[in-house]
């Protein structure tokens, strides 16, 4: 799962029938996660009535499909939760090698927007 | 999923059986604000999209299985044609 901020909404009437009427939101990932294809955004289905500006938890891959209305939904990203609060040690997160796979410092910007 | 713009169609007379003569579209992923990236995806089209359309591309073998069938040799599938999108938050 990744942390991201909802920054917009997408409307698509012509869609794969298995997508149903799922609401589609545009999410900008926080931190180091780089979405596939380099567009710096994800489009995810919304199960939890998230709104624009909310910080959300996004699940990627197979579990996303299961939550988005059953295993026969062709989605690869789903919003599973609206984040009320994140606590993290800025000092630790800013250090290279803070966690496995983190080779350069990064920070999470939770300052703008969101209903917290 | 990711948003992108269909920039062309692709034909290949010699192709693997797994592609089965399916319609292949070239999609250039965009940023959330609609700026084109330098990437290019070859996606399977099941919705009759055309050049100029903004589309949603989903990735993965299960997505492929559910939309165009497990026998198809491509994991990028167009699952929606975007009517409009609005990006408001910073």
- CB of A41 closer than 8 Å to CB of A7: yes
Token pair of A58 as six digits: 């996004």
Domains of chain A: 2-93 (2.40.50.220)
Count H helices and E strands in chain A, helices first.
Answer: 2, 6
B7/A contact by beta carbon, under 8 A: no
Q: What is the pLDDT of residues A79-107, one digit of tens each?
A: 999 998 877 666 666 666 655 555 555 66
Q: Is residue B90 part of a domain?
A: no
Q: How far A92 CA sits from the closest chain B CA (Å)?
A: 26
Its ipTM equals: 0.86
For chain A positions 68-97, those within 8 Å of chain B (CB to CB) are 71-77
Q: Which domain holds residue B70?
A: 2-81
Q: What is the pLDDT of residues B22-43, one digit of tens each?
A: 999 999 999 998 899 999 999 9
Predicted local confidence at residue A112, as pLDDT = 47
Predicted local confidence at residue B78, as pLDDT = 96
Q: Is residue B19 part of a domain?
A: yes
Q: Is residue B71 part of a domain?
A: yes
- CB of A102 closer than 8 Å to CB of A32: yes
pTM (two decimals): 0.84
Predicted local confidence at residue A102, as pLDDT = 57
Give the count of domains, chain B: 1
Predicted local confidence at residue A92, as pLDDT = 65
Other CB atoms within 10 Å distance of the CB of residue A22? 19
CATH number, residue B56:
2.40.50.220
Give the separation between CA B3 and CA B82, rounded to whole angstroms: 8
Predicted local confidence at residue A116, as pLDDT = 39
Q: Is residue B38 part of a domain?
A: yes
């Amino acid at each position: 799962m990744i942390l991201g901020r909802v920054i917009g909404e997408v409307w698509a009437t012509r869609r794969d029938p298995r997508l149903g009427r799922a609401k589609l939101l545009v999410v900008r990932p926080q931190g180091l996660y780089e979405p596939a294809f380099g567009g710096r955004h994800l489009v995810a289905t919304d199960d939890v009535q998230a709104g624009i500006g909310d910080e959300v938890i996004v699940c990627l891959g197979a579990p996303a499909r299961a939550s988005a209305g059953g295993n026969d939904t062709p989605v690869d990203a789903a919003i599973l939760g609206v984040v009320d609060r994140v606590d993290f040690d800025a000092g630790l997160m800013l250090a290279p090698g803070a966690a496995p796979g983190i080779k350069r410092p990064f920070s999470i910007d939770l300052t703008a927007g969101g209903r917290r | 999923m990711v948003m992108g713009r269909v920039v062309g169609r692709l034909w290949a007379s010699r192709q693997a059986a797994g592609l089965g003569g399916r319609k292949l579209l070239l999609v250039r992923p965009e940023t959330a604000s609609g700026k084109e990236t330098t990437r290019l995806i070859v996606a399977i089209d099941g919705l009759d999209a055309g050049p100029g359309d903004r589309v949603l591309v989903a990735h993965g073998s299960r997505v492929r299985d559910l939309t165009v069938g497990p026998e198809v040799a491509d994991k990028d599938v167009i699952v929606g044609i975007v009517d409009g999108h609005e990006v408001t938050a910073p």
